[in-house]
């Protein structure tokens, strides 16, 4: 079934099309949720709430960009709203489930390093972690982040700068990053920095 047919079916509340859409996009979107969630259950809750919004807002998709990108924005906004509401997501994630991190190499060491970096990101305070994920991984601008989190743009910038510095310190302490200046961009590349 084509993406267009699936979208049309979802607009008509066709359960088969909704299931197909969910099965196609849920693994990637679950990876997005893991970066914001406390554990697997919280990530799955975020995913479920996000897909409910996707189905309810399906009529607003205007074919102006990638459908997956449209879904991703809804999922990220759902995660942010849950974080703002609950403010309890500040411990480390069950890293075994944090798949979907973009890696520029296909080697096993790169995969292991990316998982270690994601694990270290989970050690950051919630505000730092959220801004780092939104800016470095999701690609939002500081202006967009400020609007999403109800903070000043300068606060987003400073939290991002502090998050990077704190993350680098954690990576050095855990011996994931050996030479701080030489490998600075390597850890950003491992998590999909734009």
**Class of 101-194 in CATH:** mainly alpha
> pLDDT tens-digit profile of 162-183?
998 888 888 888 877 766 554 4
Rounded CA gap, 55 and 114, in Å? 32
**What are the boundaries of each domain within the chain?**
1-94, 101-194
Residue 62, pLDDT score: 87
In this structure, are residues 128 and 104 in contact, taking their beta carbons and an 8 Å threshold?
no
What pLDDT band is residue 102 in, cutting at 50, 70 and 90?
Answer: very low
Please check whether residue 35 is in contact with residue 118, taking contact to mean a CB–CB distance below 8 angstroms.
yes
| Mean pLDDT along residues 45-66 | 92
Q: Hey, how many other C-beta atoms are within 10 angstroms of the C-beta on 188? A: 18
The pLDDT tens digits of the residues spanning 107-145 come to: 444 555 667 777 788 788 888 888 988 998 888 999 999
User: If you classify domain 1-94 with CATH, what class do you get?
Assistant: mainly alpha
Per-residue model confidence (pLDDT) at position 61: 92
Predicted TM-score (pTM) of the model is: 0.70
For 2-50, write each residue's pLDDT tens digit: 889 999 999 999 999 999 999 999 999 998 888 888 778 988 999 999 9
């Amino acid at each position: 079934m084509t993406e267009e047919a699936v979208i049309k079916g979802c607009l008509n509340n066709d359960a088969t099309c909704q299931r197909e859409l969910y099965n196609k996009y849920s693994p990637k979107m679950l990876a997005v949720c893991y970066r914001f969630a406390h554990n697997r259950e919280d990530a799955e809750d975020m995913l479920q709430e996000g897909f409910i919004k996707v189905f309810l807002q399906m009529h607003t998709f205007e074919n102006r960009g990638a459908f997956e990108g449209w879904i991703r924005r809804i999922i990220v906004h759902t995660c942010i709203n849950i974080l703002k509401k609950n403010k309890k997501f500040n411990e480390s994630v069950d890293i075994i489930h944090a798949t979907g991190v973009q890696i520029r190499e296909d080697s096993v060491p790169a995969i292991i390093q990316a998982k270690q970096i994601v694990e270290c990101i989970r050690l950051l305070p919630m505000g730092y972690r959220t801004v780092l994920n939104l800016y470095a991984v999701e690609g939002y601008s500081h202006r967009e982040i400020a609007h999403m989190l109800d903070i000043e743009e300068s606060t987003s910038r400073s939290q991002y700068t502090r998050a990077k510095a704190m993350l680098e310190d954690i990576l050095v302490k855990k011996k994931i990053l050996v030479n701080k200046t030489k490998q600075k961009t390597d850890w950003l590349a491992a998590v999909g920095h734009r």
